[in-house]
Structure 1
């Protein structure tokens, strides 16, 4: 069997490899290996920016190589870097040109004004959102959630690390979500979700709460069959 060199692989395979590499490493190392990889990196357009992993100095360097429309995923946990780095990121990358975002991961924003930038993001191609907040009060993110709920492309929501009340989430009717993960769910909330999410195929919850005295009587529609659901995962310990 003939030996195969990395640089002889087709561009599709090279891009699959780049999917698993850090954005900084791709642009300061991979692109400098040879002319062929330089060209392949220039055509790559599926960048994920995790601000926990990128210092301000590195952000400034890679901003010289990457146009905003080549970024498809943002991780903004607002954890180790606070709001200053988020603001610095948007000083380098025009928020109006982030037109190809498909995935967003958010942390906690304590003030409504801190989350205002979310309303300016282009979300017409957004497929997935992951909210990772340990706060019991997540109302500052609800305007953004309401906005993405109206997008037909929106398919996946991950709330496994967030304390969200199902009844407070502005579910549209019908909602296009096919995959939902939440931290906890009561029987009544489960019934509500199945009514509001006609395309839901996979549902996962870390805890399923049943009030044996009240919930069976208060949720008469729970006896109804919801044929859209194909997979149910409950992780109660």
Structure 2
């Protein structure tokens, strides 16, 4: 053990390692490895104690007797008033004097009894180094408890607050005139409360509100400016876009915004949002990062020229070159009608295996960082749930349009969640009426059920989609029965085969039975240098050429000789 690498590390590095372990592993395992680790553990002052309403056990009791309260930095207490039996939290308060926990920096309180809540909060008011408080409790607290909470918020050391509390408690808090907290997360807040908090928060830099009630926003809101705020996240906002603009115009120093807007009024709101190039340039000149999701219900009879004009507004040099902000646009037909959704995107690239808005039919396109916005026409992708579309037609909840809704659809995803229906010939006939199959270049087989992959069914579609050269499949247990036979009969027009989430055995069988295809790409949702270790060893033994992406999420195999590798 004396030659162990860990023993040669500085104590500070060992403490970093302990930061990744839970308290029981530290106290009952690591501590007893050797004398040096024993002494290191005794001075480790970043312990994290997490207690819930589970019945107490002797191992927990032993833990409390060993730890030094002053070495506890994080304390998490959950749900003590849901359990009438003696539990960990009860034992914690009976065995420990909360005032001995002088090193606390971070505390999270979740649904404690009022007595326990007040005991902890009262103690926090005595600490000069306390930094972060999280409270998740919608009950109405007593006035004296709220008074102690106000004192914690007024601490000079406080830097972060995370509250999921009732609006009545939020109203009862006496916010300090010069609050030192720099980050604030609120679950629920009215616009009036938000303005009051901002007025008392000169040091607030980062704010997040899950649900901001905008019912009483004043028309002269722009007169109130709060230049201290640099990052703002607003979710679940349902209001006209002009009110959102009035709100954001008050924060001229914003560097980052994250918005989720469910617009409940007219399509005109989206048209106004498409003009934000001018709003941002005038009102938010320092803005560098934008993330948002904006959705609205629209009529199926909506003029598609208007939709295309909205998309075109995000293809200007301001969005693509100056700001490098990219968008993904979804037009979704579901059982209730249609909706149009705009999402921000890191690079605008579309992965058919990603999760998209569910519905009968989902069309989507995007702006990308490598495109010339002045020349590129809208290239569309579509995901069709054939079983649901067929059922909707039979029940007269959906009528096939007389013309193709969007031209230039190049990618098709077949979302199959019911095995029995999609293989019928009527389903393929329906598909040809929804999409111009002759324009397709790629087809993806997306399984939500345990259907068995049958290449002959895909070949039936390929006969009408002669320009398709890429075929992909999301493996959801579908590649199992007679897999080698199915892979061998994939249409010879396919040049590129893409498989999502395969196992090593599946990869080997596919690579041996689709030699008429130029390339095979296997991809997964995780990334690790060891992800493809087994298949790489096998490929090297078979002398097959391959490459792995930098993020380790996919590996491509060349089945035919090429000088370009």
After TM superposition, the score normalised by the length of structure 1 is 0.84
- Contact preservation (8 Å) 1:191, 1:222: no
Equivalent position SS for 2:133: strand
Q: CA deviation at 1:233?
A: 0.7
Q: CA deviation at 1:11?
A: 1.1
Q: CA deviation at 1:30?
A: 0.4
1:85 to 85, 88, 102: 88
CA distance in 1, matches of 2:233, 2:96: 39
RMSD, matched Cα: 2.6
CA distance in 1, matches of 2:103, 2:116: 23
The superposition leaves residues 46-92 of structure 1 with CA deviations (integer Å, 9 ceiling, x where unpaired) of 11110128944223212332111111111111346667532321333
Q: Does 1:183 align with 2:184?
A: no
1:209 to 213, 225, 229: 213
Equivalent position SS for 2:208: strand
- Contact preservation (8 Å) 2:165, 2:188: no
Q: CA deviation at 1:93?
A: 2.3
Greater Cα radius of gyration, structure 1 or 2: 2
Q: Does 1:147 align with 2:151?
A: yes
Unaligned 5+ runs, structure 1: none
More helix by share: 1
Equivalent position SS for 1:117: helix
Higher mean Cα deviation, 193-202 or 86-95? Answer: 86-95
Equivalent residue, structure 2, for 1:16: 16
Q: CA deviation at 1:139?
A: 4.1
Instruction: Report how many residues are paired.
Output: 228
Q: Does 1:172 align with 2:176?
A: yes
Q: Does 1:130 align with 2:134?
A: yes
What does residue range 1-237 of structure 1 map to in structure 2 within 5 Å? 5-52=5-52, 55-79=56-80, 84-110=87-113, 112-118=114-120, 119-121=122-124, 122-133=126-137, 135-139=138-142, 141-159=145-163, 161-165=164-168, 166-211=170-215, 214-217=216-219, 220=220, 222-236=222-236, 237=260
- Higher relative contact order structure (alpha carbons within 8 Å, sequence separation ≥ 6): 1
Higher mean Cα deviation, 163-172 or 187-196? Answer: 163-172
- Contact preservation (8 Å) 1:163, 1:183: no
CA distance in 2, matches of 1:56, 1:106: 22
Equivalent position SS for 2:89: helix
More strand by share: 2
Distance 1:143 1:85, change over 3 A: farther
